[in-house]
Each structure stands twice: as C-alpha cells, then as structure tokens.
Amino acid sequence: MRDALVAAAFRLFLERGYEQTTVDDIVALAGVGRRSFFRYFPSKEDVVFPDHERCLADMTAFLAASDEGHEPVPRVCDAARLVLRMYAENPSFSVQRYRLTKQVPGLRAYELSVVWRYERALAEYLRGRFAGRPDGTLRADVIAAAVVAAHNNALRSWLRSDGKSDASTTVDHALGYVQSAFGAAPPAAPVQEHPGHPGHPEHPEDVVVVVSRRGAPLWRVVQEIETTLGRE
C-alpha cells in the first residue's frame, strides 16, 4: 500500500505538477481512501520523502551500537554512507525526487529540515564521544556539519549524473576530506626551552597566519587551520 501510494503520487507529480496534485488525486489513482494515505504519510510532502524516517532510525541505531573501539570521525562518515545507500537503492526514484525538489521551494525547505535532523544525530553522537575534551561540543558540531556538507556534495554530483556515476567512489572521495581534516588530533609537542632561559620556547617568534574569506563556514576555517598547522 505504501509503495503504491508513492508510485501514484509521483506519476501525478510528473504528469500534472506537484502543486496541481492533491491527496484526493493520489488516493483515487491508488484506489484507496484518504484514511489509508494518512496512515502512512502525515502530509503530501512526506510522500516525496518516504524513506528518510527509516534511514534516520537506521543511522541512530548504527551510532548507538558504537563502542570505544570505533574512531568517532570514521564512524560518523560510515553513518552518512547509510543515507547514500538509501538513495542508491532506487536511482530512478532518487533522480525524480531530486528534480522535483529543485522545482518546488516548499519541498526544498522540507528537505533541508530532514538534512538538519541527520546532522543533529551525528552531532549528538560526537558530543558524547568528545565530552570532557576542550571545545568538545564545538568540535562535534563542526565535524557533523562537515560530514553532511561533504556527503551532500557527493550526493548531488551523483544525482546530476542521473544516478549513472559511481556513488560510492564519489562519496568516499568527499568524506576523505573530512577524515583528513578532522581525524584524531596528534599529541601536543612539548615546549622546548633555551638553556638557561626556562619557560621560553625555542622559537617564540613563530606565528601561523591563516587567511580565509569573510563569511566562510566555521568548519572550513577550522580545516584551513588544521591543514596549515599540519605543514609546519
């Protein structure tokens, strides 16, 4: 029944347009009543994104099953791959939804709210793993945003190819940037002192300057800093 309603909805969206299609139109084509529709979908918008609730539940369960042996950054990257796998299960449907969402501002806003829920799930897990560390909450939120940004960049690239490119390779490449930027931080180097001058570092004049454009997202600024420090 659920799949039949989704199929009927998208057939009408393609034929008539999203705004011109009503719930009554959908249930008439599917041969069921309105009550059946609302048993599965709270609104017409929800029929466009029928699989995100399941995917969000799968991601939450995946993160909850983590233990101390899992490195947190690779773990959230693997969690994001669950979303890509959901899209890749039905490339034709995913591409149709992508095109429809681009055309309907209300659906785009709905999609952004779904993306925010994925990001919050990742951030919540990371906050727990980074609890007690300096800037643990900040680091968790920045990494979660970076994972979502990298994943969505790869996902949109795959969707623009009409689902014909290699989705796994594309997302692995994008998430590789996150892991290289936010992987386990190296231990702090001890401060070296001049003989006879305790407390003075060997190179007190060393300064690292990072230039970033105004308005750049925080995760990008952090990435620039960590990349620059890594070259020192």
Boundary residue ending a domain (139, 167, 182): 182
What sign does the CA torsion over 91, 55, 219, 183 have?
Answer: negative
Q: What is the pLDDT of residue 194?
A: 43
The verdict on 106 and 20 lying in the same domain is no
The verdict on 22 and 134 lying in the same domain is no
Among 134, 136, 112, residue whose Cα is nearest residue 123: 136
Q: Over the stretch 168-206, which tens digit does the pLDDT of each residue have? A: 999 999 999 999 999 754 333 344 444 444 444 444 445
The verdict on 18 and 125 lying in the same domain is no
Asked whether the predicted pLDDT for residue 69 surpasses 50, the reply is yes
Q: What is the pLDDT of residue 14?
A: 86
Between the CA of residue 8 and those of 5, 17, 25, 52, what are the distances in Å?
Answer: 5, 13, 9, 19
φ/ψ of 199, rounded to 5, equals 90, -5
CA 216/CA 232 separation, integer angstroms: 23
The verdict on 138 and 40 lying in the same domain is no
Q: What is the mean pLDDT of residues 87-104?
A: 91
In a domain, residue 196? The reply is no
Residue 152, exposed/middle/buried by CB under 10 A (0-12, 13-18, 19+)?
Answer: middle
Average model confidence (pLDDT) for the chain?
83
The verdict on 33 and 58 lying in the same domain is no
- pTM reported for the whole predicted model: 0.73
Beta strands in the chain (DSSP E): 193-194, 197-201
The verdict on 35 and 96 lying in the same domain is no
Q: What is the pLDDT of residue 213?
A: 59
Q: What is the pLDDT of residue 228?
A: 58
The verdict on 159 and 62 lying in the same domain is yes
Residue 201 pairs in a beta bridge with: 193
Q: What is the mean pLDDT of residues 71-77?
A: 96
The verdict on 32 and 129 lying in the same domain is no
Q: What is the pLDDT of residue 207?
A: 52
Owner of token pair 């990349």: 227
Q: What is the DSSP string of 89-130?
A: TSHHHHHHHHHHHHH-HHHHHHHHHHHHHHHHHHHHHHHHHT
In a domain, residue 36? The reply is yes
Number of domains in the chain: 2
Among 175, 181, 131, residue whose Cα is nearest residue 153: 175
Q: Over the stretch 115-161, which tens digit does the pLDDT of each residue have? A: 999 999 999 999 999 998 889 999 999 999 999 999 999 999 999 99
* Domain of residue 74, residue span: 49-182
Q: What is the pLDDT of residue 224?
A: 61
In a domain, residue 129? The reply is yes
In the DSSP assignment, the letter for residue 70 is S
